[in-house]
Amino acid sequence: MQIEQKLLNEINARLERQDANGGNGWASTRRLAAGAFKDMGLPTRRSEAYKYTPVAKRFTDNLTLENEAGTVQATRALEQLDGIHLSTTNGLLDSVPAHLPSGLTISSLVDAYQGNRVFVNDHLSRAFVAERDAFSSLAAAAAEDGILIHVAANTAVDQTIVIHHDNVSSSGLVQPRLLVVADKGASVQIIEHFGHAGASSAFENRIAEMMVADGGSIDHVLIFERSEEATFVNGLHVYQEGSSHYATNTITLGGGMVRNNLHFLPDGEECETHLNGLYIARGSQHIDNHTFVDHAKPNCESNELFKGIVADTATGVFNGKILVRQDSQKINAYQSSKSILLDRSASIYAKPELEIYADDVRCSHGATTGELDEDALFYLRARGIPAEKARLLLLEAFARDVVDLIKEGSVRDYLYARLHAILEAHAS
Amino acid sequence: MIRPNNPATPIPLKNITMLTIKNLHASIEEDGTEILKGLDLTVNAGEVHAIMGPNGSGKSTLASVLAGREDYEVTEGSIDFDGEDLLEMETDERAREGLFLAFQYPVELPGVSMSNFLKQAVNSVREHRGEEPLSAGDFLKLMKEKAALVHLDPSLKTRSVNEGFSGGEKKRNEIFQLAMLDPKLAILDETDSGLDIDALRIVADGVNDLRGEDRAFVVITHYQRLLDYIVPDFVHVLVDGKIVMSGGKELALELEEKGYDWIKADTGQAV
């Protein structure tokens, strides 16, 4: 494909320009990622993992790494939240917030590298496996900067960190990079919001790496609400050391085509991993959640709940893989995916994949796809509740089940209101 | 007027006809099997009618058809409900008009809290009657008062509807909802099934409390036992989709003693 070579040329030009300026940073890992991308190429529909999701088709030949500054002014829906607020333009940090609590560092990756290159080299590109993910490799190769959130050992950050990804280039390829590191015993809660960005037709291909050291904890929520023209590939790569806690909730309400690639590697014993998600696809939206939990060490637990509501001519895809390696005994891994189809023209492809090589484990999965429960509807209507309200009540209950797992109350309230507004239009 | 908790006390009847079923024929939508084959029944305000019959006679089908379940198709006959054509109304309209079905198998609604569910139900009915929605305070007061009627713990308001409820709690919850919605006609579909004697008594006491001159009950049951506690004014025997015999409360005792076979023989009905 022509576009792949064009992007690689642009990446090489960037790297050479930096070399000529004395180089800055992690060029070697970027070159490795570029090589991996070159080998893999963009996944076509012939690739099993992208059979239902033709993201590569959205890589039109005019895509370029050179983005003009974001011009779309978005409203910040989560501005009122208590917490530490950050904003980004084309994925880059606008400014470092003042008065950060001690033990918390927030900076651009370039600044972090200049301050402590050993730290950045030790953590960047450690949580993701380049050969596994062409999109994240491309983003890792292209991104010249990014955001670092670092919580020092035994620091509990009480305030929620809220990242407003609110400005993107109206066309072009935006590849934001985020690195979150919670050191030993540290804990932090992060909310990322990709808000309504008007009629932006940007292609966002982001790579986020999150690392939790021994006994650490990260709670993460991502809410994606871009317009129907937007394309989003979300590469999340989580690495956990022993006795750590990681929870993520991926809420996809917007975007024309969205692919969430969520990878988890609990690489120590006694890890707890929670991966939950909700999507509502309507109009001609296409929303795909691919998750992969690699249980590499024994005595760990993972809980996974993904729910989707698909209306109109929209498409939902879920693929959840759990791998339990041979020596990973005493693993409890639970996966559940449930989806509701609201229209005959809507489609859902759901596939759980359990690959278990250890013999003393508890793993379960369940996948259901169907229409709203007729008996439940009848029961509500038999109590005088009009059909549309009854449907809305059931749809909201279905979706809220996932939102209820979010720790932050004000985020839950925001999402309850959004769900109500969105689902109201689809309950009649 | 609320009838005192003593079923033996006579109540003045206004003789307002609440429900008139004429020559009702109904089939299973899916395969066309006819279940109700010409059923007639008239129920006046203030009356309690018991409908008894062997398994498969069409008792629950009657309840479903009255409530408007779409699995059944009415092929012939008419149902007049307080002056209106019931068959022209959707399920939720029927409920707002004052028809209540206590389900044999109450449905679990995960994620739908009792208080949200009841608020929407009560306010839908009130809106239909031209009344203002209840304030949060009045609603809570009403819930507390009516929950006490069937000994339900007020903490149930935060629970999901019927989810994790015991069999007895589910049935009490049906009577609780009946009390909240204050219907003109209540149909109890095998409300006694799966209840032990204590739960049965609580449910029956709740129903007796709700008897009144403006309200009618149709009590569908397989066993006479429930009718010891909810004493009916009339007992009808349903066999093969038709009411084949009607009488006073003593008919129930006779059925208990002799079973249903003698009726089938007497009336020439096939099983």
Sign of CA dihedral A123, A127, A132, A135: negative
Residue A68 has pLDDT above 70, yes or no: no
Residue A59 has pLDDT above 70, yes or no: yes
Q: Tell how far CA A86 is from the center of its chain.
A: 18
3-state SS assignment for residue B98 = coil
Q: Which positions in chain B touch A394 (Cβ < 8 Å)?
A: 109, 112
Q: How many CB pairs under 8 A join A and B?
A: 75
Q: Which residues of B34-48 are buried (b: 16+ CB within 10 A; e: fewer)?
A: bbbbebebebbbbbb
| Chain B contact for A381 (CB, 8 A cutoff) | yes
Q: Which positions in chain A touch B120 (Cβ < 8 Å)?
A: 385, 389, 393
Give CA torsion, residues A88, A89, A95, A98, to 10 deg.
-30
Q: Count of alpha carbons within 13 Å of B53, Cβ hemisphere only?
A: 28
| Chain B contact for A13 (CB, 8 A cutoff) | no
A381–B91 CB contact, under 8 Å: yes
Nearest alpha carbon to residue B65 among B11, B30, B29: B29
Q: How far apart are CA A394 and CA A379, in angstroms?
A: 11
Q: Using CA coordinates, name the residue in chain B closest to A372.
A: B109
pTM of the predicted protein model: 0.92
Strands, E, within chain B: which ranges? Answer: 17-28, 34-44, 48-52, 72-81, 84-85, 99-102, 109-113, 160-161, 185-189, 216-221, 234-239, 242-247
In one-letter notation, the amino acid at residue A338 is K
Report whether A337 contacts A301 (CB < 8 A): no
Residue A67 has pLDDT above 80, yes or no: no
| Chain B contact for A379 (CB, 8 A cutoff) | yes
Q: How far is B64 from chain A (nearest CA, A)?
A: 10
pLDDT in tens, A268-295: 999 999 999 999 999 999 999 999 999 9
pLDDT, residue A202, reads 82
pLDDT, residue B271, reads 45
Q: Using CA coordinates, name the residue in chain B closest to A397.
A: B111
Q: How far apart are CA A99 and CA A84, in angstroms?
A: 9
B109–A394 CB contact, under 8 Å: yes
Nearest alpha carbon to residue B39 among B76, B64, B73, B67: B76
Q: Which positions in chain B touch A428 (Cβ < 8 Å)?
A: none
Nearest alpha carbon to residue B156 among B180, B182, B185: B180
pLDDT in tens, B160-203: 999 999 999 999 999 999 999 999 999 999 999 888 899 999 99
Contacts of B15 (CB under 8 A, 6+ apart): B44, B45
Q: How far is CA A120 from CA A155, A163, A180, A318, in A?
A: 19, 21, 11, 34
State how beta strands B17-28 and B34-44 pair. antiparallel
Nearest alpha carbon to residue A386 among B233, B11, B123: B123
pLDDT, residue B71, reads 94
pLDDT, residue A166, reads 77
Mean predicted lDDT score pLDDT of chain A: 93
Considering only CB atoms, B95 lies closest to which of A382, A393, A401, namely A382
pLDDT in tens, B120-132: 999 999 999 999 9
pLDDT in tens, A151-202: 999 999 999 999 999 767 777 789 999 999 999 999 999 999 998 755 577 8
pLDDT, residue A381, reads 98
Strands, E, within A32-109: which ranges? Answer: 84-89, 92-93, 104-108
Contacts of B81 (CB under 8 A, 6+ apart): B18, B19, B89, B94, B97, B99, B185
Q: Which positions in chain A touch B160 (Cβ < 8 Å)?
A: 397
Residue B4 has pLDDT above 50, yes or no: no
The model's confidence at residue B3, banded by pLDDT at 50, 70 and 90, is very low
Range with the poorest average pLDDT among A97-101, A104-108, A395-399 = A97-101
pLDDT in tens, A304-333: 999 999 999 999 999 999 999 999 999 999
For an interface test with B, the pick among A373, A383, A405, A419 (most B C-beta atoms closer than 10 Å) comes out as: A383
Quote the DSSP letter at residue A50. G
Q: Using CA coordinates, name the residue in chain B closest to A386.
A: B92
Q: How far is A406 from chain B (nearest CA, A)?
A: 15
Report whether A146 contacts A204 (CB < 8 A): no
Tell me the mean pLDDT in the region A39-57.
90
